[in-house]
Structure 1
């Protein structure tokens, strides 16, 4: 323990990882950090962690996202409700974007590639200070995924966007027509094209889809 971090400021850290060799290396690195109380607690499966009374003592938990049995994502979802103050950081190889988003959705505060264990110390410090830690490699994938979603969003013309905005506000076809100086027939045609592009069948679906795609 160096002068930067007192014993009282250090966190109780645990790791749930079924790869014994990797787990040992991660524990070795974590044990060298002044921000971490030793010994680092360890489990090979989520089930073991959930049955262990020591789980309530852990402040920061590193979890392998691809655990056998209960997965890392399922564990994160469970502790989000049972241990709301526990800060979870995922350990992973390159997984699907969907898995990354699911883990973030269930309250994880960090996402570290197993090949980038040098980021362990940074993750501990950032999470201790109330932040969230995503390595640059993972951040790039998240940004790229958002870009793909934006690029794949249906292309509406300027007029269709005007009609959509008024429809979302609850305007009738006649009111939209009067506001835009168009005939009701023309507005109806625009609405049909909007429904087709957004793949919706009624106004309620239209509003939800527009919000989902951030079109408004």
Structure 2
């Protein structure tokens, strides 16, 4: 089904078909590969999503795959779907020195050991740690370390 059909939007047509005949498999075909149309199609029950620029052989293959129970997507569309579900890494808001301090603390070193390792005073390590808490919006070393491993490591 074409997403841009005259009189009825293709996604609305898909929705109506799936409501009335849920067992029917619908392969969406369009010139668009924008994420919103892809995800709207999938959310509304599309069995696949291909582009009009795909070769006739690929379109025929997609029809057969959908008929056999597969979920077909043009490689570019598949990449958009994969990208959507990949965890997003957060930009590191910490300075290089703060990252060094947090890394060593995450390895289990005490403030004094971190100070000795980096050639800093205990007070400087404490100040860096305070800045880390503020930048990461956390209230404890455990939270800072968890944030580090989840988002920055």
3-state DSSP of counterpart to 2:101 = helix
Q: Which runs of 5+ in 1 are unaligned?
A: 1-16, 25-40, 44-60, 63-91, 104-110
- Which runs of no fewer than 5 residues in structure 2 stay unpaired? 1-13, 27-35
1:42 aligns with 2:54: no
2:16 aligned with 1:19: yes
Q: Distance in 1 between matches of 2:119 and 2:64?
A: 59
Instruction: State TM-score, norm by structure 2.
Output: 0.54
Superposed CA RMSD: 4.6
Which residue in the other structure is 1:175 paired with? 113
**Where do residues 42-81 of structure 1 align in structure 2 (5 Å cutoff)?**
42=23
d(CA) in 1 for partners of 2:99, 2:64: 45
| Aligned residue-pair number | 121
Is residue 204 from structure 1 mapped to residue 142 from structure 2 by the alignment? yes
Contact 1:93–1:115 (Cα < 8 Å) also in 2: no
After superposing on structure 2, the runs of 4+ consecutive aligned residues of structure 1 that deviate more than 4 Å are 21-24, 114-117, 121-124, 132-135, 144-147
Stretch moving more, 114-123 or 162-171: 114-123
Partner of 1:161: 99
Larger radius of gyration: 2
TM-score between both structures, scaled by the size of structure 1: 0.41
Do the aligned residues in 2 keep the contact of 1:163 with 1:176 (CA within 8 Å)?
yes
Cα pair 1:177 1:187 within 8 Å, conserved: yes
Which structure has the highest strand share of the two?
1
Q: Which has the higher contact order (CA 8 A, sep 6+)?
A: 2
